[in-house]
Amino acid sequence: MASIDTGKVGSGVAAPVAKLRMNWAFTLLEAVLWVWSILICVPYWLRDENYAYGWFVPVGMFLFLWMRLGSQTREFWVQCGQEGRSTWRVNPWWIALPGLALFPLEVYREEYQQSGIVLWAINLAKVAFSMAGAWWLGGRRLLMVTLFPLLFFLTAVPWPARIAHPLQQNLMIGVAQVLHELLLWLDVPVTIKGAVLELTNGTVGIVEACSGIRSLQSGLMVSLAVGELMWLRRIHRGILVVSAVLLALFSNLARTFVLCWIVEKSGSDAMHAKHDLVGNIAMYSLYAVIFLLGMWFARGQAGIWPRSDAGSWSDRIGQLSWEHVPDFRPLFGITLAMFLTVHGWYKVLEFQANPQKAPAFAAILDPRSGNEKKEFAGDVWAQLGATEGDSLVRRESSAPLGFVSSSHLFWKPSAMSRTALHHRPDVCMPGSGWQAEGDVGETTVEISGQPLKFVTFRFWRQESPGKQVRALMLWGVWRNGEPVPFDFSDKLTALPEKYGWTPTARHMLGIELVSIMVPYEKGEPPLELARQALPRMYTRSATIERTR
């Protein structure tokens, strides 16, 4: 195939602006879909400190694209145009069919709010769309140059719950076990209960934020970015990534050890005062070591920088085979129609919604009730993000261990209420060392004359060598006063409720949760005791207070 006359590119006949206008649907889809991919990740970057580094990833992606494309020669752009014209063509209506998938994807995303599986489906589709565009514009040559920056964006996409939660739990317990052995070796008295270390002067609970998952995820991103910025060889990039993983685990272990040492020597108040400082030192030290290791690998090695002898960016872009890109107008139309249909439907539901604005349950705190109110731990309360709530302990002479504990939480409609049901017992309890046993069941408890359905869980935990403690938990959740339908057999998401394929007002309504836990050592689960204790700890209004 004849090469393109580069002198003609700058003329009005084949100006880059005219080519972009000719492919306006493709160009607009690229821009809009990238904005969408970034915006659906923003809530995680804002609320979850594990993904706070995500703000830097789109900047890095576009920087790497600019560096890679800018460093190419004039001949590269001419050859890209030739390769693009040799790619196979596709019927525009076949390309448009995936646009129909936007309806269930966007419904699922709104219903379950930031489901990791949906986020990955959307972002993988977006990356695939950009890769296909690069292939049509410049063939394999352009695709390979842009491949790393496009895939780099996926480092900012939250991991699916099915992967993230087990990994977090295992890291939490693993860190606690290693520290337990290390502290005993240093003659520091300590006992371990799951991911909780009990020292002489206080307790250190290793929650999700302290599991090391944040260091691991951000360390992976930094190692990939450093490898690209310094244009390291593939073998050095691989070593840098593996080193980042090991350094992240060591960094978090050292951080948690320092906090435990502070508790043992100065108490819990001193540890809380220095918690953030120690964490920041560990985190930024990790990044610094990764960067220095990258510099050591890059010594004496030429970098990658944009060049000026390949013509202007308009000339380079004009060389690509814009006229060979398929017609994306059908896909653009179907995508727009699906998006407007989903969100138009939600606007109608929002107008009709009548959300609960105050909790229906109220804790019984009369001095003669036997109930004692406890404060939620600060980090736990921050993760829950509830509007209001209670944590109660009740002394019961008939209880196997002399007490029962209970929690009550209420979320007004908000960003946090959308993820309220992520805090389900079978996912969160292992963080405190509790392991599930038996099947999930159901029972009914009458509170204030109202029969209410609760889900039953059973757990066990190793308290000390040769001693196990078990616990029965009753867990109930209501949305706008109506029980939430559960399906704990669905392991694809972190949520237990059943899912439909049409929009609902579920994330526009208030959520209320009540649970009770009865610990015991032997025998049958004390189900009847739990059913009798709950009405002595809470009352429930017969009417739900709503906004209108």
Q: What is the pLDDT of residues 483-503, one digit of tens each?
A: 988 877 765 555 677 777 789
Q: What is the pLDDT of residue 106?
A: 87
Same domain, 207 and 140: no
pLDDT of residue 1: 34
Give the three-state DSSP class for 351: helix
Per-residue confidence (pLDDT) for residue 168, from 0 to 100: 78
Q: What is the pLDDT of residue 372?
A: 93
Closest CA to 156 of 242, 225, 221, 63: 221
Write the Ramachandran bin of 5: left for phi over 0, alpha for psi from -120 to 50, otherwise beta. Answer: beta
By residue range, what is the domain housing residue 193? 167-269
> How far apart are the C-alpha atoms of 152 and 63, rounded to whole Å?
11
What are 471's two structure tokens?
Answer: 């616990």
pTM above 0.75, yes or no: yes
The answer to the question of residue 274 being in a domain is no
| Number of structural domains in the chain | 3
Q: How far apart are CA 23 and CA 48, in angstroms?
A: 38
Partners of 473 in beta bridges: 457, 517
Is residue 402 a contact partner of residue 421, using CB atoms and an 8 Å limit?
no
Low-confidence ranges of the chain (pLDDT < 70): 1-22, 113-115, 194, 207-212, 379, 431, 464-466, 490-495, 548
Please, where are the H alpha helices in 1-115? 6-9, 16-22, 24-47, 56-70, 74-85, 92-96, 102-112
Q: Is residue 1 part of a domain?
A: no
Whole-number pLDDT of residue 207: 62
The answer to whether residues 535 and 388 belong to one domain is: yes
Residues 252 and 337 in one domain: no
198 domain residue, yes or no: yes
Instruction: Tell whether 146 and 183 lie within a shared domain.
Output: no
Question: Does residue 497 form part of some domain?
Answer: yes
Q: So what's the pLDDT on residue 19?
A: 63
| 422 secondary structure, DSSP code | G
- What would the pLDDT profile of 391-434 be if each residue is shown by its tens digit? 999 998 889 999 999 999 999 988 788 878 878 888 778 767 78
Q: What is the pLDDT of residue 114?
A: 57
CA distance 484 to 476: 8
- Residue where one domain finishes, among candidates 248, 269, 290: 269
Do 184 and 325 lie in a common domain?
A: no
Has residue 376 been placed in a domain?
A: yes
383 located within any domain:
yes
What pLDDT shows up at residue 163?
Answer: 78
Angle at CA of residue 116, ends 112 and 117, nearest 5°: 90
Residue 115 shares a structural domain with residue 31: yes
Euclidean distance between CA atoms 539 and 449, whole angstroms:
9
Would 216 be classed as within a structural domain? yes
Q: Are residues 524 and 395 in the same domain?
A: yes
- Predicted local confidence at residue 15, as pLDDT: 52
- Among residues 352, 370, 393, which one ends one of the domains? 352
Residue 511 and residue 404 in one domain = yes
Q: Report the pLDDT value the prediction gives residue 457, as an integer from 0 to 100.
A: 94
Do 175 and 252 contact (CB within 8 A), yes or no?
yes
The pLDDT score that the predictor gives to residue 7 is: 39
Identify whether 365 is part of a domain.
yes
pLDDT score recorded for residue 365: 92
Chain position carrying tokens 């352009």:
142
Tell me, rounded to whole angstroms, the distance of Cα 369 from its chain centroid. 41
Per-residue pLDDT at 76: 92
315 lies in the same domain as 200: no
Based on the fold, state whether residues 383 and 532 are members of the same structural domain. yes
Q: What is the full DSSP assignment across 264-327?
A: HHH-HHHHHHHHHHHHHHHHHHHHHHHHHHHHHHHTT-------STT--HHHHHHHS-GGGS--
Domain end: 319, 352, 385, which one?
352
Q: Write out the H or E segment, with its range, that includes residue 132.
A: helix 116-152
Do 406 and 528 belong to one domain?
Answer: yes
Residues 480 and 366 occupy one common structural domain? yes
